[in-house]
Structure 1
Amino acid sequence: MAKASPPPLTIWAVSDGRAGIEAQALGLAEAVARLRPAEVVVKRIGWRWGLGRLPWRLIPPAALKGDLAPPWPDIWIAAGRATLPLSTRVRRWSGGETFVVQTQDPRVPLTAFDLVVPPEHDGLTGSNVFPILGAPNRLTPQKLADELAAVADRLEPLPHPRVAAIIGGKSKAFDLPPARAAVMAREIAAAIEASGGSLLLSFTRRTPTAARAIMTAALRHLPGIIWDDRPPNPYFAFLAAADAILVTEDSTNLATDAAATGKPVLTLSMEGGSAKFARFHAALRDRGITRPFDGRIETWTYPPLAETDRAAAELLRRHDALCI
């Protein structure tokens, strides 16, 4: 008699729902599901009464906003500070049956987790730490092809080289004030005009309003598309359609997504910086993935970055070792 196949794994991807944070947990969960039959469930949480601002140890689970209740999943993958009051407790709640994974550096004792997947540039080490270059993401060749097909009729007439420009914004380490935005826009316009190509421009929620207005006004004359926030978001389609990608230096997620395409990635300088981001961008350059934007649209090749798949394989290896 044939041995019955084990049931699919249940995986929860837990975050506060912000796009960049959720993409890390969900991207890693989806990568695991590509390797092993699994049901992936997205869980978005928050904290009542403003308690989310407190240190994680002081936030009572009773203040939770979100749908979390037994039966607990086989694998819990969480991202972001908001999840720490739960991630640090779920192994106990499940009686040790849930394999607990946290992306980023949680900045709490690592003993609460079965696996931590931080970016290499954080410098985090430990027996349950598996650093990767960049951050987990949701990009696969199939996803890029599907997103491109959905808007192909709008993109097909655009001249090559098609240049995707993905603009971040203000963060703890970086800023995009009006003066820098104006210079950036002029440099992008000159490069695209010189190449005879077209522009696919997308802003993020962190792009300052003034910078967005300045860049839109300065670049709207170019052939191409400037996303106006109306759904659907063409971000992945822009990456898929691009011959080259410009990305601001403020975001690990944006650079990692661009690097997953295997296309030339040119980094746009901003005001500010940090030692951690300097290490991150140095690692991308050392791998032949990125170059600083110097006013020209360049072409080169490299193997697409696939760190999420590498982390998923390690996650399953450790999960299976505990389950034997």
Structure 2
Amino acid sequence: MTASDDTLHIPEGRPLTIWAVSDGRAGMENQVLGLAQAIARKTHAQIVTRHIRYRRLFDRWPTFLKLWPDQMLKRDSDPVGPPYPDIWIAAGRATLPHSLRMKAASQGKTLVVQLQDPRANLSAFDLVVAPQHDQVTGDNVLSILGAPHRITKERLAAEFAPWAERFKDFSGPFVAVLIGGKSKSHDLSRDRAETMAADIRRAVVATKGTLLLTISRRTPEAARDILVSALKDLPGLIYTGGGDNPYFAFLHKCDHILVTEDSINMAVEAAATGKPVHILSMDRRSALKSTRKFDEFHRALQDYGAARPFNGELRTWSYTPLNETARAAEAVLALLKSRATPS
């Protein structure tokens, strides 16, 4: 990865301004905010969230046809205009028309960082932070294992505090089970859900543990019903939506994490805790390229030492918590410093 010869300006007497730009969906927003917050932990910075949303007529248009993106936005979309930030961090298809124009719009004064595979002219960005399994290559590409996220020990402890009283009547080991659902590449059939529930039950009972189960909105209704029915009598907590979400409290308190293979974000967040991550197999919808990418990701996570396929046993092992978000933050700041002069 090499820096370009463009000159940026580091502000004196004020914090760096960082725009975290996405379409507002949780998966995208967590990535841009995760990287922005990691930068802010290393230097004085102010983070501004920006949501880009297009009117229905234009939403599905390919990026190359969005020639006047400002005029295509919904009324509830955040404006994209001067004064521009010191660092622009964006993720998702909706952000690309503006990301591709940001260097020119800011007259080179904004460091443009795009997450994931932009499938666009890489030279339009100062830095592309892409998952290893996407196999994006270029002088301005940083490949990371998984995706940026917002998990830190401090955040997990803070998120657990309001839930602490709920855990007083339970004893460990605590087993967090994170269930995803149907996607382009994976599904959770009735048969698979029944097998999964039986394996989870057997493991929790064998260790005299406590179940901490959270079920996604993407989980098929039949699978959700099977899992809840089969596991509801175990000691612990089950979250199926509605009310405060205990997801971060579960990650803080648990001793083991079981996570379905359909979610890279959940697996990476689990690996950030340093706790054993057990991967739950799902149904494959087809031999899609995206399915192969999931396989590559999970192999890399296993090679790192964070994860293993779940075989019905709650085995214990140790590894250094995965912290690719911090590595990406360091790369952004190093690039900014290498190209900057005080303003």
Whether the TM-score (by the shorter chain) exceeds 0.5 is yes
Partner of 1:129: 141
Q: Which residue of 2 aligns with 1:166?
A: 178
Residue aligned with 1:35, SS: coil
Q: Does 1:31 align with 2:43?
A: no
Residue 107 of structure 2: aligned partner:
95
TM-score w.r.t. the length of structure 2 is 0.91
Q: Check the 8 A contact 1:77/1:102 in 2, yes or no.
A: yes
Deviations 1:3-25 (A, max 9, x none): x9531001011111111111110
Query: Percent identity over the alignment?
Result: 54
**Separation of aligned partners in 2, 1:53 and 1:177:** 30
1:6 corresponds to:
13
- 2: distance between equivalents of 1:204 and 1:15? 21
5+ residue gaps, structure 1, are: none
1:194-213 alignment, distance < 5 Å: 194-213=206-225
Separation of aligned partners in 1, 2:181 and 2:130: 22
* Structure 2 runs not aligned, ≥5 long: 1-10
TM-score, structure 1 normalization: 0.96
* Alignment partners' CA distance in 1, 2:167 and 2:215: 18
- Superposed structure 1 runs of 4+ greater than 4 Å apart: none
1:307, 1:75 → 2: CA distance?
19
Name which of 89, 93, 109 aligns with 1:81: 93
Given candidates 70, 73, 92, the residue that maps to 1:64 is: 73
Name the count of aligned residue pairs. Answer: 321
Asked if structure 2 preserves the Cα contact closer than 8 Å seen for 1:49 and 1:63, the reply is: no
CA distance in 1, matches of 2:56, 2:298: 39
Tell me how large the CA RMSD over aligned residues is: 1.4
Question: Which residues of 2 match residues 41-60 of structure 1 at below 5 A?
Answer: 41-59=48-66, 60=68
CA distance in 2, matches of 1:175, 1:85: 32
Q: Deviations over 1:74-124 (max 9, x none)?
A: 111011111111111122111111111111111111111111101111111
Paired position in structure 2 for 1:306: 323
Structure 2 equivalent of residue 322 of structure 1: 339
Summarize deviations over 1:253-278 as a string: whole Å, max 9, x none.
01000000000000000111722111
Distance 2:45 2:249 in 1: 27
Q: CA deviation at 1:210?
A: 2.2
Conservation of the 8 A alpha-carbon contact between 1:15 and 1:22: yes
Aligned-partner residue type, residue 21 of structure 2: V
Q: Which one of 261, 279, 284 corresponds to residue 273 of structure 2?
A: 261
Asked if the contact 2:216–2:240 (Cα under 8 Å) also holds between the matched residues in 1, the reply is: no
- CA-to-aligned-CA distance 1:45-87 (integer Å, 9 cap, x gap): 2110241211112123111131223211111101111111111
